[in-house]
A and B are shown apart, each in its own frame.
Chain A
């Protein structure tokens, strides 16, 4: 077996598939719980090793393409499957494999109280998810991308609704599925339209067409917009972002994996993969940029009023996804992709850290926590590392990617989005440190242990090794990426203005200071702040009424449509059939009278037939 990146990537892809098949078929293995977990973890480790190998062997310009014909056609094949390993896909593969592996290890500790068959089911879904996400990453063409895209959505549904006996979880899973499906319809339409124009699904072939100028630009905006809709759904852009906060009903490791690092980044990844196509339609790119910036700001505002720690992180994810999309919209996909990678690491870290806290306290509410800095020092340190990275403080990975994005957006000429992003950066630092100060600092709040998610009471100690080691690994990575960028600051594709770095740092520090003043030092009253921004606060607590809007839309449009369809069926379709049957009966009755039994009447018939024959024969032609 040759050790080229493509083969290793294929191996990374197939190991989780093998794990899934094994666990799906051999149900005694699955029902045994921990054994299933070990199988899945082992395959995940193997996939990680293969992904690292593929990445290590990958050169920045090189590309390996392994493609098998799936649906044949006269000239070439209609659809192919395979892997496309280049610089982007291998690094993304590493991210997916790494976070997947760490989460699976972490889950062994987090879900230790689960009944065994349920745990087996969990790991089956995890394996399937890893396979699907890697399929998206390695897809050489739109068709395979779409198939695995849908599979990823399915896994999201399965994993969000893992505790399906809880009605909120079931509802959240369905909501996630519905909303992303709405975007996926757009994606499908876009893929079909693109195929209609280009004649192929393959990325490389379309890229060649674009470079040779053979793809007509007229009307291409519709195609790219439809493709963007798919990204909008999966990557939670406004207005299709409403599923992500609800998706927190799933277990925290699932949130860390799917709703921080991998599935929601599929949209950004798609854009990165096809940015050369979007470059042909600058209007759509502008739109993407604006929507991205607006999403970033909106989600940041919403995060400021949340009291559920996971919800804060969920809105934070939406906000950061908005950042990535804005960079894509500005035309500098590399900056957005870099932020995807760093964000994947520190957001997963934050979620897993939150999971450790939830596991210990037994509740998601930050007002039920407090003073955890003393009770759980390790978790506190890694959480603060993640928060600093998210807020954009130098030396941490998040700072560099955020600065890149701000520079890219400024250079791309999107001025208003730029200032929206800056304000969002301020708010990001503010709300994240709000969480830190309320949950980790200060005193223990009353109303401590709620019975949430099936965990009994609080055992306030640091997380066990199986949970804390992944945390330390991710924390080390966050810092390590930061230091890497200090050493190897590559040439950016744009020139950032000189005042950008001080602005970014200043904004972040300002947010931290405000949070400290409000929640720690109590110099600024939180209530005064709430009163000052009362209308926004009220709107934010009602989630800007978007959920109600969607519900109303569903009720109105969908149910109205079904009522209309019912009416049409009852009165038009049935009516038509009834009319036909009534006609048949009436005319049958009337025609019956021809059979009078009298032969002379039959002679009439003969005579009429003869006349008709004569007319027909003589009819002028």
Chain B
């Protein structure tokens, strides 16, 4: 085993987390479950960013991660607020029932 993990290890980890998050997004029926999957994907992106920042020696990646986290928090807040609103109107949080966009 090397003394420190190479970059690829972190990238592979992030890719695995991303795939799992994608799986969650497309299979979960509850809207909040979908949001949790999105969280996982964003999380994996952050790992990627920090790893690249570390191996390039540039703090830009870290700053970008800070921004990403902030924006994610805002997005989650509003997303869940939307879910609550829909629940108030439609009495359901199941994503399958929210198909008004059907063509």
Contact = CB atoms under 8 A, between A and B. Distances in A.
A adjacent to B, CB under 8 Å: yes
Interface of A: 592, 594-600, 603-604, 607
Nearest to B97: A598
B54 to A, nearest CB: 24
A592 B95 contact: no
Nearest to B27: A600
A598 B103 CA distance: 10
Nearest to B22: A607
8 contacts: A592-B103, A595-B102, A595-B103, A597-B99, A599-B95, A600-B25, A604-B26, A607-B26
Given A603-B26, A604-B26, A607-B22, A597 B95 contact: no
A151 B87 CA distance: 88
Contacts of B98: 597-599
B101 interface: yes
Contacts of A592: 103
A607 B25 CA distance: 11
Interface in B1-54: 22, 25-28, 34
A600 B26 contact: yes
A598 B25 contact: no
Contacts of B28: 600
Contacts of A604: 26
A603 B25 contact: yes
A544 to B, nearest CB: 75
Nearest to A593: B103
Interface string B73-97: 0000000000000000000000110
Nearest to B96: A598
Interface string B53-75: 00000000000000000000000
B25 A596 contact: no
A199 to B, nearest CB: 64
Range class of the B interface residue count: 10 to 19
A308 to B, nearest CB: 81
Contacts of B34: 599-600
Instruction: List the 3 closest A-B pairs by CB distance, nearest first.
Output: A595-B103, A597-B102, A597-B99
Contacts, number: 33
A47 B22 CA distance: 98
B93 to A, nearest CB: 13
A604 B25 CA distance: 9
A114 to B, nearest CB: 78
Nearest to A599: B95
Contacts of A599: 34, 95, 98
Contacts of A603: 22, 25-26
A600 B27 CA distance: 8
Contacts of B22: 603, 607
A598 B100 contact: no
A598 B100 CA distance: 8
Contacts of A595: 101-103
A597 B25 contact: no
Given A596-B99, A604-B26, 6 more contacts: A595-B101, A596-B102, A597-B101, A599-B34, A600-B34, A603-B26
Nearest to B25: A603
A598 to B, nearest CB: 5
Contacts of A607: 22, 26
Task: Choose among A599, A604, A607 the residue with the greatest number of B CB atoms under 10 Å from its CB.
Answer: A599
Contacts of B25: 600, 603
B26 A597 contact: no
A592 B103 CA distance: 6
A597 B28 CA distance: 16
Nearest to B103: A595
A411 to B, nearest CB: 91
B95 A600 contact: yes
A603 B26 CA distance: 7
Contacts of A596: 99, 102-103
A606 to B, nearest CB: 9
B38 to A, nearest CB: 9
Nearest to B28: A600
Most buried by B among A595, A600, A604, A607: A600
Contacts of B95: 598-600
A357 B7 CA distance: 118
Nearest to A596: B102
Nearest to B31: A599
B97 to A, nearest CB: 9
Nearest to B102: A597
A219 B96 CA distance: 79
Contacts of B102: 595-597
A604 B22 CA distance: 9
A166 B93 CA distance: 91
Nearest to B38: A603
A607 B26 CA distance: 10
Contacts of A598: 95-96, 98-99
Contacts of B100: 597
Nearest to A600: B26
Contacts of B103: 592, 594-597
A599 B34 CA distance: 10
B27 to A, nearest CB: 8
A594 B95 CA distance: 16
A600 to B, nearest CB: 5
B26 to A, nearest CB: 5
A127 to B, nearest CB: 74
Contacts of B27: 600
Contacts of A597: 98-103
Contacts of B26: 600, 603-604, 607
A603 B100 CA distance: 17
Nearest to A591: B103
Contacts of A594: 103
Nearest to B37: A603
